[in-house]
Structure 1
Amino acid sequence: MAKATKKQALGRGLSALLKDPENDIQSATDKNADKVVGNIVELDVEAIEMNPFQPRSNFNDEALKELASSIRQLGVIQPITVRKLEFNKYQLVSGERRYRASRLVGLTTIPAYIRIANDQESLEMALVENIQRQDLDPIEIALSYQRLIDEIQLTQEQLSDRVGKKRSTITNYMRLLRLDPIIQTGMRDGFLSMGHGRALVNIEKKADQIALYEKIIGQNLSVRETERAVKAYHEGGPSEKQKPKSTKIPEFAEGNIKKFTDHLSVKVAISASEKGNGKITIPFHSKEEFQRIKKLILGE
């Protein structure tokens, strides 16, 4: 406990040093830079801005609240990383979940490692650190790899060294970007796994990808079953007896899809036959969204 208190006091001391205009550190060669760069410093939350290069775009509200609860009890165990922009102004490099959760519980300061970096270095640090340390979905990882190649101008061999992944692993992720955007969204929303995506990407025509994607969702196909379906597709498709029935939705059902979607504010799917039997599928992505939809339907 004494060691933790001493480290915290040191962080506050360095924070005071940074707030002194006479010690405005702009480069690693400036006076007192060695006392700050690479050390843990308590920074004002309001002095930190979000990183425009952040690859993560989806943050699970429930997981964020759980992290906030942990921070309320134990504090921020793992410091965030920031880069210095100007006097007493910083930009987040990595640790956005910790930063968001800290603000959620009302913390005014947060422990941080300070880096001095230009925009390109900041982009590279943000992408590499998030790939290594954050629970990104497969499409976010693929997009991060693509940005490192395009914007930092790395080869796949160099990228492999930077992120510590085999080149084949990087290739498998980046191939997912060849999937139709609708399927990419389905992966980001958790409707199908990377294994499903790796199988689907072997189908070149986007329309055929979508057709099989809908079958995976509608019939809850496993990865192995999806691989067999892709193999059958390349062998000329299933026999007439095995071909799926037409997915055309009867007019009475199709005319109501938009009404359901507008009312519930989620993309509702309807499958039905001309005889009138079928099902309505209402997706939700969190406990809060489930409760909201339940209230709209049941009035509870």
Structure 2
Amino acid sequence: MTKAVKKQALGRGLSALLKDPDNDIKSVEDKNADKVVGNIIELDIEAIEINPFQPRTNFNEESLTELSTSIKELGVIQPITVRKLDYNKYQLISGERRLRASKMAGLTQVPAYIRLADDNESLTMALVENIQRHDLDPIEIALSYQRLMDEVQLTQEQMSDRVGKKRSTIANYLRLLKLDPIIQTGIRDGFISMGHGRAIINIEDLDAQADIYQKIVSENLSVRDTEALVKKYQESLNPAAAKDTKSKTASFEVDDKQQKTITNFFGSKVDVKVDAKGKGKITIPFHSEEDFNRIIKLFKS
């Protein structure tokens, strides 16, 4: 399988801020606290203690081993969250599986979000500001949305108001976090787009997701090609439904030559659909008022 290139570890410089005993950051009022809140920082694993009130005590060893192997190859994709207790002393809030798997993988440091005693509003502001940046990849945006839900207790509707995005847009980002880790890494490193990810997420089986991801990368498939591939996979799981669908297909098909003729005429990818009765429609997309006027002139010529 094509592997994504590992990213450089984050928060190296920021972690140094937390190792200055004379300027220990304990609250949002302290110097350099704004550089800590909302950012990913590399923490020494030995400085993190498990939350004694963690309700989950049973961890599947096979699952941990698989996650450990993934971390060895790709690193920790989703940082853990800790609470600062004292100088160089932290308590885990969330991400115990990731922490345990990181230890199994032999890591000495792990990427983490640090919560300070009075940082709730500051964290909210930092995350909202972070989401509105233009240089974030889709997974980074999704993780920020997830943090707002988990740590600040915002609903998708409340997030929609805070960041000025539609609820459906937020939901689409959050769904990306259900993808196999290697696919999330592929999106972060630009091997595939968010559109590819949204198509793949419709497949529940992670192994099947990984197979399709490999095919996308190796064959440089478009989003539309990926959607067709996913549809074909889903139909293979339910042959009866696929056969029923086939029986209702169009009485004739528009071949590649005809499609190309229409596309060349309008200068854009035209969508042609024909139903079982031979009726259909042609959808002509345009991308601006200028493009629309160009198409109108074609009808007049």
TM-score using structure 2 length: 0.42
Ranked by relative contact order (alpha carbons within 8 Å, sequence separation 6 or more), the top structure is 2
- For normalisation by structure 1, the TM-score amounts to 0.42
